[in-house]
C-alpha cells in the first residue's frame, strides 16, 4: 500500500523486454555462450510467473532480431535448439496457467520443426486469457512498419492514417507497451517496437539479463509507478 493506494493497481498492463546480456554474462563467468541463453530462458519463466501473480496482462520478449541471423552458424544452431527445448518444456506451464502464446516476426528462416511448434502452441493456447505472452523472433520494427504500409498500398489506400498503420502491424491484437525494460546497460531500442513504444516508459538497468531476477523486476515496476505519464501534455 502507498498512501492508502494498492500500488499493484498502478503497475503497467503491458511490459516489453529487450533481453540483453546473455553472451556477456556467459563470457564474464567463463561459460559457453549457450549457457548464457539457457540462464536467460529461466529468467523468462520467473518473470512470467511473477507477472501472473501481479495480474500484469501482457508480456512481450525480444527473443531474436532480424539482425541476429548474422551471428555465427554455431550459435544460431544452438539458439534454435534452445528455442525448441523451451517450447517443449514450457507448453504444460502455458496450458496449466492459461497463458495465451503468440509470436511476431519472420519465422520462415527457422527450422521447420520449430515453426510447427510455434504455430501449434499458438493454436492450443488461443482461447486462454490469463496472460498474453508474445515472443519476437526474426523481428525488426522497421520491416514491420514497412510491411504495414505496403499492405495498405496494395489495398489501394489513398490516405494512410496512424490507425491504419497500427491495425496492420504484427501487434495489432495487443495494446501498446506501457513499460519497456532493457538490461545490460545499453540505452537504445535496437529496432524493437519503434511504432508501438512512442509513449512507453523506458527503464534501463546495467544488470545482465541472466541476473535479472524477480527482485530487480519489482524495482523496475515500482520505478514505473513513481513516474508521471504525460503523453505529450504538461
Predicted TM-score (pTM) of the model is 0.93
E strands, the chain, where?
Answer: 14-18, 58-65, 99-104, 131-139, 179-182, 201-204
User: Any idea what DSSP says for residue 70?
Assistant: G
CA distance linking residue 53 with residue 96, whole number of Å: 14
C-alpha cell at 123: 493454436
How far is the C-alpha of 33 from the C-alpha of 16, rounded, in Å?
Answer: 24
Do the beta carbons of residue 77 and residue 112 sit within 8 Å?
A: no
If the chain, 234 residues long, is cut into consecutive pieces of 10 residues, what is the mean pLDDT of each piece? Answer: 65 97 95 93 96 97 92 90 92 96 96 96 97 97 97 93 97 97 96 97 98 98 88 61
Burial 144-173 (b: 16+ CB within 10 A, else e): bbeebeeebeeeeeeeeeeeebeebbbbee
Q: Does the annotation count 20 as an active-site position?
A: yes
CATH class of 9-140+177-183+214-225: alpha beta
Q: How many residues does the chain have?
A: 234
User: Residue 9: its pLDDT value, please?
Assistant: 80
Which of the following is catalytic: 20, 22, 100, 178? 20
Q: Is 68 a catalytic residue?
A: yes
pLDDT at residue 234, rounded to an integer: 57
Catalytic member of 6, 9, 22, 68: 68
The pLDDT value recorded for residue 100 is: 98
Judge contact between 200 and 178, C-beta under 8 A: yes
Q: Are strands 131-139 and 99-104 parallel, antiparallel or unpaired?
A: parallel
- For position 231, what pLDDT does the model report? 64
- pLDDT at position 157 is 86
Would you call 50 helix, strand, or coil by DSSP?
helix
Amino acid at each position: 500500500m502507498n498512501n492508502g493506494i494498492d500500488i499493484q493497481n498502478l503497475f503497467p498492463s503491458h511490459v516489453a523486454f529487450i533481453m540483453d546480456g546473455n553472451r556477456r554474462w556467459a563470457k564474464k563467468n567463463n561459460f559457453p555462450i549457450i549457457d548464457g541463453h539457457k540462464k536467460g530462458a529461466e529468467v523468462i519463466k520467473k518473470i512470467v510467473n511473477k507477472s501472473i501473480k501481479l495480474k500484469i496482462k501482457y508480456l512481450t520478449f525480444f527473443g531474436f532480431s532480424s539482425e541476429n541471423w548474422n551471428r555465427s552458424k554455431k550459435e544460431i544452431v544452438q539458439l534454435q535448439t534452445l528455442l525448441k527445448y523451451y517450447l517443449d518444456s514450457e507448453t504444460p506451464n502455458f496450458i496449466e496457467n492459461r497463458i495465451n502464446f503468440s509470436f511476431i516476426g519472420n519465422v520462415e528462416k527457422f527450422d521447420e520443426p520449430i515453426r510447427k511448434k510455434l504455430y501449434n502452441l499458438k493454436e492450443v493456447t488461443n482461447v486462454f486469457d490469463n496472460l498474453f505472452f508474445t515472443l519476437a523472433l526474426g523481428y525488426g520494427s522497421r520491416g514491420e512498419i514497412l510491411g504495414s504500409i505496403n499492405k495498405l498500398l496494395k489495398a489501394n489506400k489513398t490516405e494512410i492514417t496512424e490507425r491504419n498503420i497500427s491495425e496492420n502491424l504484427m501487434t495489432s491484437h495487443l495494446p501498446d507497451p506501457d513499460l519497456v525494460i532493457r538490461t545490460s546497460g545499453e540505452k537504445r531500442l535496437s529496432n524493437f517496437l519503434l511504432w508501438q513504444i512512442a509513449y512507453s516508459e523506458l527503464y534501463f538497468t546495467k544488470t545482465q539479463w541472466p541476473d535479472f531476477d524477480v527482485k530487480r523486476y519489482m524495482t523496475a515496476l515500482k520505478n514505473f509507478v513513481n513516474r508521471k505519464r504525460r503523453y505529450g501534455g504538461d
